[in-house]
């Protein structure tokens, strides 16, 4: 049984939402954030990337940076740019990117259910990134961005969400600079809230699409509070984390492409011969985007090639080994290009499919990279199958779009004060 809980959201005044809501903290570096804040001082990046509001060279993991995040968060309340709802609410978050529409419930989910495996993960986390989230949540006294969750769709939930949207005007509605329309509806009627809770009780599990470090950080924060108090308080705000929860049939995963700096001592000719041992290779007349599993595009020496995995090089019954990212890693990146651990090897980088194949060409033609690979997107069903099996996906397997905006709704761990 999946628990969803309403909360008193801290959110922008409708007319300011377009300026305040920002892309997630982890899709840009400090300098990108600094330039965005300079162009738009309202941006919620002042909280999620608070180092970008401080002198250049500051350590982004210093005490001062986390304190600045809290200070900047409180300023939104002090200036009246953001306010906290007077009673617990659910929120419906609709995004439209081109022809793709996704509609999710903004709620808080249970740390206990994450701990128990009812909220399922498919990625490993890194200790230093977990610790960053722990510090940020603890010092800001808030979860400033949501976890991206999915569930196996249920028609009765989707129908009820559409009904609620049709009955009210949106509180927030804008098109962001990336062309994505972001719309937020507030559900504050107690009977409607009860019905949402009831409907979700039939959902057996949630799946983390994006936000593994936010989940792990929220659990560690809850553990620290429980230890300090000497007991668990399952009614406390810190025992829940903010999430946007989407049905799986509305999720869109884009390709997550690979670029490698060198050919590991091979010439282009010898590299092509090595690739042909495990893949059928044929020239492509234009940039090649795979349209089926187990095919890959390769950009090398100004030319595109279509690669198709040969039979017998992977186990089709193994949910991990049969993933395209695993086939490429196990049969080309590791044995030919000597990329042992793509999570840590500095010779490989990753490019989200939202940037297009022209970005792969630009990277290789620029001379810093020698070869690029375009991938067929991982399917949401594959993500859920692996999570259900209790297994871990290879790194950089999924790229979800559109990205959820931080600052649309914030989950406060305690009511915000006006002193800072």
37 in a structural domain: no
* Mean pLDDT along residues 181-209: 98
Domain count for the chain:
2
Q: Are residues 137 and 228 in the same domain?
A: yes
Q: Are residues 272 and 208 in the same domain?
A: no
Q: Are residues 93 and 241 in the same domain?
A: yes
CA–CA dist 149, 147 (Å, integer): 6
| Position 26 pLDDT exceeds 90 | no
Local structure of 142: helix, strand or coil: strand
Q: Are residues 104 and 212 in the same domain?
A: yes
Which tens digit of pLDDT belongs to each residue from 130-183?
A: 999 999 999 999 999 999 999 999 999 999 999 999 999 999 999 999 999 999
Domain with 123 in it = 87-252+402-412
For residue 411, the cross-strand partners are 143
Mean pLDDT of the chain: 95
Q: Are residues 268 and 368 in the same domain?
A: yes
* Mean pLDDT along residues 246-274: 96
Local structure of 339: helix, strand or coil: coil
264 in a structural domain: yes
| Position 213 pLDDT exceeds 60 | yes
Which tens digit of pLDDT belongs to each residue from 217-235?
A: 999 999 999 999 898 898 9
Q: Are residues 92 and 240 in the same domain?
A: yes
The pLDDT of residue 314 is 96
Residue with tokens 């590791």: 334
Which tens digit of pLDDT belongs to each residue from 295-347?
A: 999 999 999 999 999 999 999 999 999 999 999 999 999 999 999 989 889 99
- Pairing relationship of beta strands 10-12 and 399-400 according to DSSP bridges: unpaired
67 in a structural domain: no
230 in a structural domain: yes
| % the chain with pLDDT above 70 | 99
The pLDDT of residue 417 is 55
81 in a structural domain: no
Residue with tokens 């390709």: 255
Q: Are residues 259 and 358 in the same domain?
A: yes
The pLDDT of residue 415 is 82
Which CATH number fits the domain that encloses residue 392?
3.30.1760.10
23 in a structural domain: no
Q: Are residues 229 and 273 in the same domain?
A: no
* Mean pLDDT along residues 363-373: 97
User: 159 phi and psi, to 5 degrees?
Assistant: -65, -40
392 in a structural domain: yes
Model confidence at 419, pLDDT cuts 50, 70, 90, reads very low
* Mean pLDDT along residues 338-362: 93
The pLDDT of residue 418 is 42
408 in a structural domain: yes
Q: Are residues 105 and 177 in the same domain?
A: yes
Model confidence at 1, pLDDT cuts 50, 70, 90, reads confident
Model confidence at 186, pLDDT cuts 50, 70, 90, reads very high
Q: Are residues 211 and 340 in the same domain?
A: no
Please provide the DSSP assignment of 172-238 as one string.
EEEE-TTS-EEEEEEE--HHHHHHHHHHHTT---EEEEE-HHHHHHHHHHHHHHHHHHTS--TTSGG
Model confidence at 196, pLDDT cuts 50, 70, 90, reads very high
């Amino acid at each position: 049984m999946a628990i969803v809980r309403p909360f008193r959201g801290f959110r922008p005044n409708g007319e300011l939402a377009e300026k305040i809501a920002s892309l997630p903290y982890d899709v840009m570096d400090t300098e990108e954030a600094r330039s965005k804040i300079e162009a738009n001082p309202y941006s919620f990046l002042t909280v999620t990337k608070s180092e970008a509001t401080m002198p250049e060279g500051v350590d982004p993991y210093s005490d001062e940076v986390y304190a600045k995040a809290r200070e900047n968060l409180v300023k939104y309340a002090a200036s009246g740019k953001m306010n906290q709802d007077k009673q617990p609410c659910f929120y419906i978050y609709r995004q439209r990117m081109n022809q793709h529409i996704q509609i999710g419930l903004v709620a808080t989910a249970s740390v206990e259910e994450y701990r128990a495996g009812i909220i399922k993960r498919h990625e490993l986390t890194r200790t230093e990134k977990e610790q960053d989230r722990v510090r940020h949540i603890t010092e800001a006294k808030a979860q400033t961005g949501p976890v991206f969750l999915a569930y196996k769709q249920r028609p009765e939930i989707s129908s009820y969400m559409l009904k609620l949207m049709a009955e009210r005007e949106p509180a927030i509605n804008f098109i962001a600079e990336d062309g994505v329309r972001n719309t937020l509806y507030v559900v504050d009627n107690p009977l409607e809230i009860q019905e949402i809770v009831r409907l979700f009780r039939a959902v057996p599990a949630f799946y983390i699409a994006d936000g593994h470090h936010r989940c792990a950080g929220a659990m560690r924060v809850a553990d620290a509070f429980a230890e300090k108090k000497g007991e668990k308080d399952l009614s406390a705000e810190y025992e829940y984390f903010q999430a946007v929860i989407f049905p799986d049939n509305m999720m869109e995963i884009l390709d997550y492409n690979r670029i490698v700096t060198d050919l590991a001592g091979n010439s282009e000719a010898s590299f092509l011969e090595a690739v042909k041992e495990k893949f059928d290779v044929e020239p492509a007349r234009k940039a090649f985007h795979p349209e089926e599993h187990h095919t890959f595009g390769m950009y090398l020496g100004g030319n595109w090639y279509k690669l198709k995995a040969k039979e017998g090089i992977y186990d089709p019954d193994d949910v991990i080994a049969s993933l395209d990212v695993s086939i490429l890693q196990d049969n080309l990146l590791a044995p030919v290009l000597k990329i042992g651990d793509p999570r840590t090897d500095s010779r490989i980088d990753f490019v989200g499919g939202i940037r297009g194949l022209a970005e792969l060409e630009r990277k290789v033609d620029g001379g810093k990279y020698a070869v690029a690979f375009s991938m067929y997107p991982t399917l949401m069903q594959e993500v859920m199958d692996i999570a259900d099996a209790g297994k871990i996906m290879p790194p950089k397997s999924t790229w979800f779009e559109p990205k959820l905006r931080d600052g649309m709704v914030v989950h406060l761990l305690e009511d915000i004060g006006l002193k800072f």
